[in-house]
Homo-oligomer: A and B are copies of this chain.
Amino acid sequence: MQRFINNPDEVVEDTLKGFVKAHRDLVRLSERNPRVVAAQVAPIAGKVGVITGGGSGHEPAFIGYTGRTMLDAVAVGELFSSPTAKSFLDAAREANGGKGVVCLYGNYAGDNMNVKMAVQLAAKEGLTIATVVANDDVCSAPASEREKRRGVAGEIFMWKVGAAKAAEGASLEEVRATAQKAIDSCRSVGIGLGPCTLPAVGHPNFEIAPGTMEVGIGHHGEPGTRVEPLKTAAEIGRDMASIVLDDHGLAAGTEVAVLVSGLGATPLNELYILNDAIEAEITARGLVVHKTYVGNYFTSLEMVGATLTVMALDDELKRLLAVEAACPAGL
């Protein structure tokens, strides 16, 4: 492995140490729990707290979205593993400004279980945690079973919108409902060109044969819907947009936000090449691109590949997306 690591079992700890050093103006490690990152400004009295949590290895997700008018706290799991219930609970405690906390997280078995336990534990101490579970990954289940779909990079829009709503002084139920609307407005797809390796394992836990690509791959190498010969970027971008938009079924004229994220080892210029084809397909369908994000927003260690997220916008979502914020990921 050609990697910058120390002890493979301490990747998460070492990452967090370097992360809070780099961004100490915005974030801190919780004194309650070394697997919780909190915003320097958190908790904010009278504001609904906004938290998430998830496995590590997706940086800048999840920790990089902690900050001002962004997430108040984040529960940190081991690489590709859910945080503990205790960590979700401690994240909620860090974020608790007296108006309740909303946990905006992704649909994975471990996260579901641990968030549910944290909600129960928090209730015992009088802290209400409302939840929204993201399921924007189109290829992880058919539309008829959308509740089974995984959460992927659409979560970033959910966090941004939810945090902006909370900063406006909204109630817990209002923040929950708006974050739910945000993720319901998102559809995502991933394309894998190369696998990733957990340092403690030392070899990839899945394979992508050279000359092929995995369409619909998940953030942990979950198999996609099909393996295809590697196409041109123009074809891949068109296919990604088609998969997302065929599922979305948006009316012509709808304004959308577009997020093209690398999976870790794909260079930025290739993401721009993809974006050219993606936007061409989006506009060919009569949709209007309101804002585009291209970069490494939600990765999977050194996986080669990219994801596309399209969020349909209404006036409220446009307004909340534009709210000024500050977080290490720079959204």
Which of A's residues lie within 8 Å of B, judged by CB? 2-6, 11, 14-19, 21-23, 25, 56-57, 59-60, 64, 193-194, 208, 210, 213, 230, 232-234, 236-237, 260, 264-277, 279, 289, 291-296, 299, 301-302, 304, 306, 328, 330
Contacts and interface: CB of A to CB of B under 8 A. Distances in A.
A318 B18 CA distance: 22
A314 to B, nearest CB: 20
7 contacts: A3-B270, A4-B306, A5-B270, A19-B294, A21-B289, A265-B302, A330-B330
Contact of A292 (B4, B21, B268): B21
A230 B2 contact: yes
Nearest to A279: B21
A286 B56 CA distance: 33
B236 A273 contact: no
Contacts of A19: 272, 275, 294
B273 A22 contact: no
Nearest to A301: B267
Contacts of A230: 2
Contact of A15 (B3, B6, B265, B272): B272
Contacts of A299: 267-268
A9 to B, nearest CB: 13
